Every structure is written in structure tokens, then in C-alpha cells.
Amino acid sequence: MSIKTVCTLDYGIEPDTGEDCAAALQALFDGLAYESGTEFCVQFKKGNYHIHLPIRIRGAKNLTVRGNRATILAHFDPTAPIWANNNVFELSDCEDTSFHDFFFDTDHPVSAAGRVTSIDRENGTVDLKIYEEFPVTGFEHFCATNSFDEKGTPDYALATYNMDLVRLPFTAPDGRRTTRLVGLPYEVVGEHLVRLQLGALSPALKIGHEINLRYEVSGNTVFQFVSCRRVLLKNIIIYSAASFGATIHPRSEDFTFDNFCIRVPDTSERLMAANADGIHALGLAGKLVLRNCHMENMGDDTLNLHSIAACIRKLDSEKRTLAMFCPRPYGPHSLPEKWAIPGDAIYVYDSETFLRKGSFVIDTIDEENNAVFREETGAFAAGDILANAQYFASLHIDGCTIRSTRARGFLVQTHNVLIENCYFYGMSLSALLFAPDIRVWWEAGPCRTVEIRNNIIEYCAHIDSIASQGAIIFNACHDANSLEYPAGVHEKLFIHDNLFIDLPRSGIFVVSASDVRIEGNRFQNCCYHPQENAEYAKYDIVAANCENIVIRNNKSDRGEETLQYLLNCKE
């Protein structure tokens, strides 16, 4: 295969002009003849490139994009409707594509940060001195707030969500009568000083608390992939993402993130680098590899790997027809485009136990997810839960550092997982959560064949929440207790040779699993702030409703008496 190198300079795309070059970049990628059998290498010159529209790459094959340490600055307006902001690269139906050696930032901050200077609990207001690097015009809209503790991690002393923006009359600081978009109500009361109108305040919120104010939560991503295969992102640093670092949609396959980093610049007082997830995959086949990645200060999970769960609405066993939908309590009940196609195998789970009870293969399916099926096993009925077997990508994570994230480090819902040699610090919730969810999020599915080894997990699961029962959690739902689910939801788990340090809660919390081995782990200063009214909360290892479980050779600096707690478990 021949290789053709294309330079951005040859298309008149100069760095450091301060002008929007999105149209010129779009013309460059549109002009590549991907069907010719040529391998293309697009080379950027080092410097800053401003883009105000997403760059759409469709149908690329054998494409390498090299940044040579160029910085892409996406446009972001903290006063505008969220839809006015843009993704950076949107790829669809691409194969054998890679991006190397880029920095990504935004031309304006995607959030602000400051410190609490006064609290009026009677009137429910908080005064916040905004750091100088962030604009304070009075027109910025705040979609979410989060407080940070002295260790630099979200502590939920303040956590609000006001994502439905409303345009209201407004008197600008210069006296002009106008309008602005409002999420959380506030007013400018001094030089870089705002007064947040919050209502009831937690007693945990103190003067001196650092606060992050997100201008957006969910909406924009740096990389978006739809139906892409064999993708590599290497030596990428994202300093600012309005929502996600990367999103992966059906029907994508085989992704590798190598030295993919999302972090706050050393010279900045930003408290968040991305306002939502670092990597969000909701329809990935094949494999996902994360190697030597450093991700910190996410507004949500660093990684969320899952697919959308469905439900059988109607079933005619004789005609082998069924209707499928997603009855989640938020958003549309439709399933994503191409959630299933002919030939896909579908797993069927009992809606009460989440145990797998059968499977079938899609023969035909229409746009409204009415399907004809074949090759069924087991017995199933209306109301049963469905997961597409295509989207259980294997996962290998090695040598990654994950720090100071508002939710979980990794939220994993797949089979064949190996997580090793990683360091986790300052997750507000668990470092690792393995759990499907059909109570709120309607994500699938249960995990099978998981190994977690040689990791260090420090100061995680530190907020008072049922969702932070341990640093490593296997559960049957995301954010609630699931002790009613039986053994067998998760299968073949091996958690060994990990070090747990300075954890307010348990180190390992496993519910509803079979074939579990927990061996050779060490616990130092754990369970120093256990959940109230929970008998098991003072133990380093908690297991409930498990079968074929082996726990041995683990050590705790608190002694054997608080090392492990077993409830309804069978060896």
C-alpha cells in the first residue's frame, strides 16, 4: 500500500493566526480519496489552531493524523446556549485510523473556580471569589457546582445541578437591562465576586471551600466515534473538554488509548479538566485498551464502558417476534441507532434477579426495534432485560493514573477484564465499579472474567453515599443498595495483590457474584469513617450473596478481626 503525506501548510492552514480554520481543515479531510487504497498521513505544524465547527471525517481508511505537538483550541462560549459550542473531531464509518501528538484546549474556560468568602445560611446564599483567570461578566451560566476538599477532590459539601437553562431578564453590571441564560441563580456583587442563590445549605460547606462552577455538563466531546473500527489515540493531552474527552457509539470496534491524558495545566487554577466523562463508550465491540494514561479532575466517571439495556415490550413466541424498548426514567425510550442488526446475539436477563436466562439471534429488525428472532435458548417473557452480546468488549487497562474525579474511576459493564499496575487517588465514589443498572440508567451488563491486580488505591470512596461502600465494588446497580440480588450476577472474579490506603470505607465490596477469589491484598488505614447503621461497614473486605468464594492471605493493619465480613456466602 502506498503512503501519501499531506501537510496542513499545503492547504494554507497556518498555525497561530487566531482565526477559525475549521472550514479549511474540513476541506482537507474531504479531499482525501480514502477508497483509492492509499494510506494517508496528515501532518500539522506545531502551533495553535482555532476551530469553531467540528471536523467531520467520514469513511476514512488507513488514516494517520499527526499533530507534532500542535494545540487545537475549540470554541467555547460560557454565555451561549450549549448547542452553540462544538465538538472537535467527529468520525463515522472509519477504519484503521489514528491520532498522535496533539494538545486540546478551549479558547475560553469551560468552568470557573473560586473560594467561598462568606455564607448566609438564613438566606441560603454563598459568596464566591472567582479566581482571576476566569471571566465574571454576569452573563455566564452555571449548570453545576461542586465543592473540593483540602486534598483537591470533590467532597459534595456543595453539589448542585441546574442543566435546564432558562432565558430571563437581567440587569448587567454596567446597568444595562438585557437578558441572560440562567441555570443556578446568582448575581455579581463585587470585583470577581458572585453570590450564589442556593437555598438550603449543607453544614459541611465552610468558608474557604474551593468551588467549581461548570458552564456545561453534557453536550460536547473532543473525539466522537460512530461505527469506527481499529482506532488508536496516542500521546494526546486534553486540558479542557466541555463535556467528554472521547465518546464511542455503536457499532464501533477495537480502540486503543496510549498515553491519552486529560488533566489541568500546571499553570491553571482550574478544578476540572473535563465536565463529564473522560471516555464514554456505549456500544463497543472487540477490545478496549488503555495504556499509560493519566486522567484527573473529571466531572463524571473517568471511563464508563457499557451498552444500553433494553426490555421486551411484547413477545410472540410462536411467531418468534418481539418489540424492544428502553424504559429509562429520563430521556427517550427509543434505543440507539444500530443498537442491533441481523445476526447479533442478544442476552436475556431476568428483571428481578439479573441472572441470565437465555439468548436469541436477531433475524430481522426494523427502525422501531421490532424484531424477528431465531436460535433462541432458555425461556423468556415480556419485561425481561436484554443486552447485545456484540457490545461486551474485552478491557485491558495497564499503568494508568487516575486522580480527583467527582464520580468513579472506572465504571465497567463488560466481560474479560484485566486492570493492572494502576494508581487511583481521590475518587469521590469508588475507584472501580462493576455494575449494570436498570433502576435509573438502563446500562448493561453484568461482568464476567475480571482480574484486578497490582494496583494502588488511595483516598477513594470518601463521601457519605450508598454508592461509596468500597473502593472496588461489584454490585447489581450503580447508586443504590442491591443486597436483594442473588449470587451469579457477576462471575469469575479475581482480585489480588492490590494495596488499599487511607480509605474511609471498605476496600473491597462484592455482592451477587460467583467464583470469586480475593487474595494477597493489603489494607492500610481503611474504614476510618464507615457508613452509619451498616453492620458490615467497618470491614476491609465485604462479600454478600456470593457462591464459590475464596478469601485468603489478605492483610490489614487493623488486624484479623476487621478484615472480612461475609453475608449469605458459600465457599
80: left (phi over 0), alpha (psi -120 to 50) or beta: beta
Mean pLDDT per block of 10 residues along the chain (571 residues) reads 91 96 97 86 98 96 97 96 89 98 97 98 97 96 96 96 91 87 95 96 97 94 98 98 97 98 96 98 97 98 96 94 90 84 97 94 95 95 96 98 97 98 98 93 94 98 91 90 88 98 97 98 96 88 97 97 95 82
Query: C-alpha grid cell for residue 59?
Result: 469513511
Residue 348 contacts residue 356 (beta carbons within 8 Å)? yes
pLDDT at 1: 67
Which residue type is seen at 284?
L
Going through 490-552 in order, the beta strands assigned E by DSSP cover: 490-496, 499-503, 506-511, 513-519, 522-526, 541-544, 547-552
pLDDT at 314: 95
What is the chain's percent helix, strand, coil content, to nearest 5?
5, 50, 45
Instruction: For residues 521 and 551, give the distance between their C-alpha atoms in angstroms, rounded to a whole number.
Output: 10
Instruction: For residues 563 and 524, give the distance between their C-alpha atoms in angstroms, rounded to a whole number.
Output: 11
Angle at 285 between CA 308 and CA 282, to 5 degrees: 30
**Total-model pTM:** 0.97
All structural domains of the chain, each given as residue ranges with its CATH number in brackets, are 3-104+218-300 (2.160.20.10), 111-214 (2.40.10.170), 308-391 (2.40.10), 395-567 (no CATH)
Closest CA to 308 of 444, 433, 478: 444
Reply yes or no: is the peptide bond before residue 251 cis, omega within 30 of 0.
Answer: yes
Residue 247 contacts residue 233 (beta carbons within 8 Å)? no
Q: Which residues pair with 114 in a beta bridge?
A: 130, 211
